[in-house]
Structure 1
Amino acid sequence: MSNGTEDLENLIALMAKLPGLGPRSARRAVLHLIKKRSQVLLPLADALHLVGTTVRECLTCGNIATADTCHICQSDRRAIGQICVVEDVADLWAMERSGVFKGRYHVLGGTLSALDAIGPDELRIPKLIARITDERINEVILALGATIDGQTTAHYIADQLPGVTVTSLAQGVPVGGELDYLDDGTITAALNARKAL
């Protein structure tokens, strides 16, 4: 590119950091945005600014929200006594898309990983344990990926919760699968067929 295009190069480099976009895809996306400046680029810039300044993590469950407490935690329509534990917000959204689970959630923010030096304190596990007592939870549903780290995390959490029924998603979740990539029917079947750990 010619001189004076540092801003464009910076935008392309930032776009290339997004999941699923490499330098070529980012370049095409930026060119498209410029061509559709008034229809796409400017509204996108406004939306990014708004989200960047207003969205935060729910203090209770870890979902994202525009207030300190998300709409799920605030809702009096959600079942009391059940918490569905997920790895990240994308998994929470996948569970919500299925429309089957009517309780509350807890987002861990990842899974335990000795290789990456991620222990319980780097995740929201201590907050989960505190919620069990504070909210009188009688069932914890572990909706973690069927990966080695996901299963290690599930067993660790189950060991930390004596006296509480701990279940996990069952059939339908393939080994190595992630919730965000599953269809609603598979999530529904897995939730309905959960089993005790």
Structure 2
Amino acid sequence: MPRPPFPTKRRAADLAYDAIEALISTLRLEPGSPVVEAELVELTQLGRTPVREALLRMVSTGLIDQQPRRGLLVSHIDLADHLDVIQTRRVLERLIAACAARRATAAQRQEIVRCAEKMMKAAARGHLEDYMRADHELDEVNHQASQNHSAVKCVVPLVVQCRRFWYAYQHEGEIAEGARHHMELAQGIATGDEKAAVHGADQLMDYLERFARRVIDS
């Protein structure tokens, strides 16, 4: 039986993870900066236990480093490693797109196109925050629709790394192009066309790779 398209209740630790992830990916928590649990509890308005659980997950995925005598630090952006991040993400995104095209509910197919449309509108206005918010929403629907928990678990830290990289070097990016590729992915999933969905995922990864190479070569 397929999962409900939009869960009505999420664990506090998941909410804490999302909130801290947003702080890291938008560089409000800068690379190399110390992670102070009490500050995160105040920022997220969640308890110490869910915040601590979220931080442990981030240590395991490499978003946060645990160093002797220095405690927890936000991991640095590694330019040399970033192309490998994209190559690894490409394999997972192709799988997730194909699964979503096969398994998405009617409501999820409509929602993923709606998110892509929001990205297109935000890009046309040049509104970065709205664009990134819609991007995050599209990822969530896509991941739910795929019903492939293993692939989603592996891809989420890579998505955050790419989002953080993009924020750090956004002067090299073009959000209108990114929005177009997200729409291509969304339409492939919405129509149930696995080949088109995978092609959209590839186009999106090509865009991120071109962006990364411009940054690395500059």
Instruction: Report the TM-score when normalising by structure 1.
Output: 0.27
Hey, which of these two has a bigger chunk of helix by percent?
2
Higher relative contact order (CA 8 A, sep 6+): 2
Look at both structures and tell me which one has the larger radius of gyration over its CA atoms. Answer: 1
Query: Which structure shows the higher strand fraction?
Result: 1
